[in-house]
Amino acid sequence: MISLLAASNLSKSFRPHRGIAHPVLALRNIDLSIEAGSVTAVIGGSGAGKSVLARCLSGHERPTQGTVSFAGVELTAKSRPHLVQLVPQDPAASLNPRFTACELVAEPLRIQGVGTSGTRRDRALGRLKSVGLPASCAGRRADEFSAGERARIALARALVLEPRLLILDESLSSLDVPVQAAITGLLSELKSRHSLTYLLVAHDLTLVRQIACAVVVMDAGEIVERGPVSEVLGRPQHPATVRLIEGSPRFPDA
Amino acid sequence: MLKSYIARRLLNSMLLLVAISMLSFLFLEIAPGRFLDEMRLDPRVSPDTIYAMRQQRGMNDPLPVRYGRWAGGALRGDFGLSLAYGVPVLNLALPRMRNTLLLTITALVLAWVICLPCGVWTAARPRSLAARLSGPFTSLLLSVPELLAAGILLLLALRTGYFPAGGMFSPGGRPAGTIRAVADASRHMLIPVLILTLAVVPLLLRHVRAALESASGAPFVQAARGLGIPERRLWLRHILRVAANPLISLMGLSVAGLISSSLLVDVLLGWPGLGPLFLDAVAVRDTPVVISVLMLSALFLVAGNLAADLLLYACDPRIRTE
Amino acid sequence: MRARLRLWVAGSVVAAIHVLIVFAGFFAPYDPTEQHREIPLATPFTINAKGDGRAEWFTTGWRYRVLGVVTCSRHLFGASAGGQVFVLGTDPYGRDQLSRVLCGGQISVLAGSIAAFLALLLGLVFGTVAGFYGGWTDEILMRLAELFLALPWLYLLLAARAALPDSLTPGQTFLLVASIIGATGWARPARLIRGLVLSAREREYVHAARGFGASHWYLLTRHIVPETWGVLLTQAGILIPQFIMAEVLLAFFGLGVGEPVPSWGSTLSYLRQPWLAVTAWWMLAPLLVMLPLFLGYHALASTLQQRAAAGSG
């Protein structure tokens, strides 16, 4: 197996408000490698640093220390949007309500200066179609869509630059169950169609069991356990993992 | 805690005043058309004389030196000599400042005396006729610029002739005897104070009402109402105290409005306040007077805000623990 | 629904007055500077003062320029040859008050609008820069704004006027006055806009656009500045009348565009001779246009404000 994305020795500290002397360490020396075509889930309690990790990998946050490389080449501000994309925690809020669906999906192309406005529009329409939204709704504005449709638009936007890795930062947790199920189905469909790799930040272990193949457990800014889903969730080694499993609701046939 | 809060507010105000003095000094110094430049046009005055006059007044020194000298003097209460009158600026400005303060403080007190009960009344009975009329009424008053309102009032006063409009004393100067002088002055004050009060009341009333209404809708007031606390007690003991915060901040705001309006009223009614002095100084570019009056007006404003801050401190326990 | 009606009424009053003022030349029967020395202080509705003419519709009279370009001499009404018509009377120099009110409005309204545009532009630039970049830039700009707000505005305005040259052509004075008013009025809009930008830059979609590699310019122009349009519009509704009044005050104090060019302020300056204004009430004629204009602007601004509040809340 080839490693698609590799983070080495990644640390991130935040300088809190004035008056507090010590910077807060959100990530400590993270080493992580993600295999091409896999679905890796990052789990952990709240404040464990999952989101910060996702945002450091996607370039939304600048790590204090360490490097992130993609297929052996270090990511730069220029290359990153074309390779790694993040679908944020609340996909609906990440859409400017003034923009139409088409403008929203074409925005990354526009920012990156890809193509002309005509070709950008065509590509955006294509993406909208591939996430299950008809071309007829391309002219509607973001606030006229339902939550599930907005999640689809956010997904289409993340895919429009044809990245290889998609980071989903709890992107599904704001949706209700049937919509979540539909989007999960869409995700696996897109994965095979565009040969994508997913990194999934999640707290819902049911979802993780359902779609992930590898899992990484984080606690207090560190990776404490990692391995295939069945192994880690079936025979947890670290107390943090045990806590997570015991704390999550279990249904007989989930 | 008290000391550090007051010290912080004081320091802030001082810094603001220093900055204002620099700004006003700077933009008047770099300006063309200074007092002596006008003299240059006069063929009877030789350039040498002007140079000597400039030298004598230290006008040929570099800017920071002049500012330093001016600021140093100002701290000792010496704002320099008026270019037009040749007398110390403070001698000109102080009596006039007193007159302006007389008007503005009276108007401020009057405005609050009117607005607070009216605000409570309209906020407590939002369905009453008075409350429903007060909205459009304040709105109407708010949109009429004070110059126009002042002009109309002035003309009404003149037309009816009930009250003197113009000056501080009746023709013939200050009457002999303190009591008669005060009586005469207060009759003359009536119109200007009325105009000034009218200039702040609409804005004040609207804000007072809004503050009281938001306080009276607070959950704890609802709870108190549920406990059966009588309305009167509720308003006096609870709602007013909660609304005190925004009301006190409003005080600073009302002072700001009054100071600008007072300039207008002074000029329009010939009240011997800072207004006419300032206006004449602006017209002939009497720099020291312009700067000093500007500084004094800023001082009022800063002092008003400082007073509001201190009152806020006295009334709001949360600031003390901050 | 009532708000909508109010918006319409206020909007049409304001628009009508603006039309009246923009095409003042057409509605004004006389050149506002023309003196009829033989009939000073003529009472309003003095028609046919000379005795041998009639008031007529669509006459030809003094030449004026429409929008500063097209020269024209057609008027809505006037007196036929030999007659005179002074609908709002004349001033002590025998100048037609109606013409002075209408043409004076051009100076005052244009100065107020230019000043408001300038103040909003400065406020937008400074507020956006302060809110978006934060740190030292923010600190310095906001301290500066505080400085401007700590000075009573009328004193500040007059002092700024004192700092600038006096003996200029009317055109230069006009531009000067408009820019002083604008330059002293930027602080309040700047503060408001800074607050908006501060919250706008933390929105999820701005972060998302950053993630796509957006430049600062892109973020500002596509995402952040459009958020401020509503506030800018409301502020314009508040600032334009306020700045018209500022011009009126400057002219009233004799510091604006000088005579004989009419402005509302200089036309109103007879208020400084109260006895004249008491006996000849039509010296207050500018009020007939100014009051509805200010009422209209106020209603517009407050309705817009309520709408914005309802939209966000």
CB-based contact C284:C265 (threshold 8 Å): no
Subunit contact B27:C150, Cβ cutoff 8 A: no
Q: How high is the pLDDT of residue B20?
A: 83
H/E stretch holding C78 reads strand C70-79
Q: Which residues of chain A have pLDDT under 70?
A: 1-2, 16-21, 248-254
Partner residues linked to A226 by β-bridges: A216
CB-based contact C38:C71 (threshold 8 Å): no
Chain C residues whose CB is inside 8 A of the A95 CB are 205, 208
Which among A60, A89, A93 has CB closest to C210?
A: A60
- The answer to whether A24 contacts chain C (CB < 8 Å) is no
For C58, what's the count of Cα atoms within 13 Å in the CB-facing half-sphere? 0
Subunit contact C205:A161, Cβ cutoff 8 A: no
Closest CA to A50 of A64, A32, A23, A77: A32
The letter for the amino acid at B212 is L
Site of tokens 């005043």 = B17
Dist CA C232 CA C228 (whole Å): 6
Chain B residues whose CB is inside 8 A of the C274 CB are 154-155, 158, 165-166
For C305, what's the count of Cα atoms within 13 Å in the CB-facing half-sphere? 11
Which among B19, B139, B147 has CB closest to C147?
A: B19
For B84, what's the count of Cα atoms within 13 Å in the CB-facing half-sphere? 18
Q: Residues, chain A, total?
A: 254
As a whole number of Å, the end-to-end CA separation of chain A is 30
- The answer to whether C294 contacts chain B (CB < 8 Å) is yes
Q: How far is C211 from chain A (nearest CA, A)?
A: 5
Helix (H, G, I), strand (E, B) or coil at A200: strand
Helices A101-112 and A117-130, packing angle to 10 deg: 120
pLDDT in tens, chain C (313 residues): 577 888 898 899 999 999 988 888 888 888 888 787 777 777 777 776 556 666 777 777 778 877 777 888 777 877 766 677 787 878 888 788 888 888 888 889 999 999 999 999 999 999 999 999 988 899 889 988 888 888 888 888 888 887 777 667 788 888 888 888 998 889 999 999 999 999 888 888 998 888 888 889 999 999 999 989 888 988 998 899 989 988 888 888 888 887 778 888 888 888 777 777 777 778 888 888 888 898 899 888 888 888 777 765 4
Number of neighbours of residue C142 by Cβ within 10 angstroms: 18
C84-137 per-position pLDDT tens digit: 778 787 888 878 888 888 888 888 999 999 999 999 999 999 999 999 998 889
Partner residues linked to A73 by β-bridges: A70
ipTM of the predicted structure? 0.82
Dist CA A178 CA A184 (whole Å): 10
Looking at residue C74, the DSSP 8-state letter turns out to be E
Helix (H, G, I), strand (E, B) or coil at A140: coil
Dist CA C73 CA A38 (whole Å): 82
Chains that touch B (3 or more CB pairs under 8 A): C
Dist CA B159 CA B194 (whole Å): 16
Dist CA A13 CA A22 (whole Å): 10
H/E stretch holding B47 reads helix B47-56
**Most confident option among B2-11, B276-285, C9-18:** C9-18
Residue A201: phi and psi, rounded to 5, are -95, 125
Q: How high is the pLDDT of residue C132?
A: 92
Q: Best residue in A80, A83, A94, A150 to probe C by mutation, most C CBs within 10 Å? A: A94
Q: Residues, chain C, total?
A: 313
Burial of B69 (C-beta count, 10 Å sphere; 0-12/13-18/19+): middle
Subunit contact A60:C205, Cβ cutoff 8 A: no
Q: How high is the pLDDT of residue A254?
A: 41
Interchain touch C–B (≥3 Cβ pairs closer than 8 Å) = yes
Subunit contact C299:B143, Cβ cutoff 8 A: yes
The letter for the amino acid at A215 is V
- Please name the residue of chain C whose CA is at the shortest distance from the CA of residue B266: C272
Subunit contact C212:A111, Cβ cutoff 8 A: yes
Chain A residues whose CB is inside 8 A of the C215 CB are 111
Partner residues linked to C55 by β-bridges: C79
As a whole number of Å, the end-to-end CA separation of chain B is 9
Closest CA to A5 of A78, A62, A79: A79
Q: How high is the pLDDT of residue A18?
A: 57
Percent over 70 (pLDDT), chain B: 84
Dist CA C150 CA B100 (whole Å): 18
Dist CA B320 CA B306 (whole Å): 16
Chain C residues whose CB is inside 8 A of the A96 CB are 203, 205, 223
Q: How high is the pLDDT of residue C313?
A: 41
- The answer to whether A108 contacts chain C (CB < 8 Å) is yes
Chain A residues whose CB is inside 8 A of the C218 CB are 111
CB-based contact C174:C115 (threshold 8 Å): no
Residues B294, B299, B302: CA angle, nearest 5 degrees:
125
CB-based contact A229:A213 (threshold 8 Å): yes
Closest CA to A208 of A220, A199, A196: A199
In this complex, how many residue pairs, one in chain A and one in chain C, have their CB atoms less than 8 Å apart?
44
Structure tokens given for B11: 């320091």
Which alpha helices (DSSP H) does C23-57 contain, by range? 24-27
Subunit contact C162:B279, Cβ cutoff 8 A: no
Dist CA C101 CA C285 (whole Å): 7
Dist CA A79 CA B272 (whole Å): 73
Q: How far is A110 from chain C (nearest CA, A)?
A: 9
In this complex, how many residue pairs, one in chain B and one in chain C, have their CB atoms less than 8 Å apart?
130
Site of tokens 């958020």 = C227
- Please name the residue of chain C whose CA is at the shortest distance from the CA of residue B255: C152
Closest CA to C157 of C234, C233, C253: C253
Residue B59: phi and psi, rounded to 5, are -85, -5
Which among A77, A89, A111 has CB closest to C209?
A: A111
- The answer to whether A141 contacts chain C (CB < 8 Å) is no
B23 vs B44, residue with greater confidence: B23
Dist CA A163 CA B256 (whole Å): 58
The model's pTM: 0.84
Helices C153-162 and B274-284, packing angle to 10 deg: 20
Interchain touch A–B (≥3 Cβ pairs closer than 8 Å) = no
B60-90 per-position pLDDT tens digit: 677 788 788 777 877 787 777 777 787 888 8
Residues 48-107 of C with CB under 8 A from B: none
Dist CA A93 CA A174 (whole Å): 11
Q: How high is the pLDDT of residue C217?
A: 92
Looking at residue A95, the DSSP 8-state letter turns out to be S
B81-125 per-position pLDDT tens digit: 777 787 888 888 888 888 888 888 899 899 989 888 888 888 887
Which among A59, A95, A98 has CB closest to C211?
A: A59
Subunit contact A95:C213, Cβ cutoff 8 A: no
Q: Best residue in B264, B294, B305 to probe C by mutation, most C CBs within 10 Å? A: B294
Q: Best residue in C203, C205, C222, C228 to probe A by mutation, most A CBs within 10 Å? A: C205
Subunit contact C163:B139, Cβ cutoff 8 A: no
Structure tokens given for C163: 């700092």
Residues A68, A74, A76: CA angle, nearest 5 degrees:
95
Q: What is the CA radius of gyration of chain A?
A: 18
Subunit contact B31:C150, Cβ cutoff 8 A: no
Dist CA B82 CA B94 (whole Å): 13
Partner residues linked to C74 by β-bridges: C60
Chain B residues whose CB is inside 8 A of the C275 CB are 158
Which among B139, B148, B282 has CB closest to C255?
A: B282
Which among C167, C272, C290 has CB closest to B148?
A: C290
Structure tokens given for B242: 């909660």
Q: How far is A241 from chain C (nearest CA, A)?
A: 31
Q: How far is B207 from chain C (nearest CA, A)?
A: 14
Chains that touch C (3 or more CB pairs under 8 A): A, B
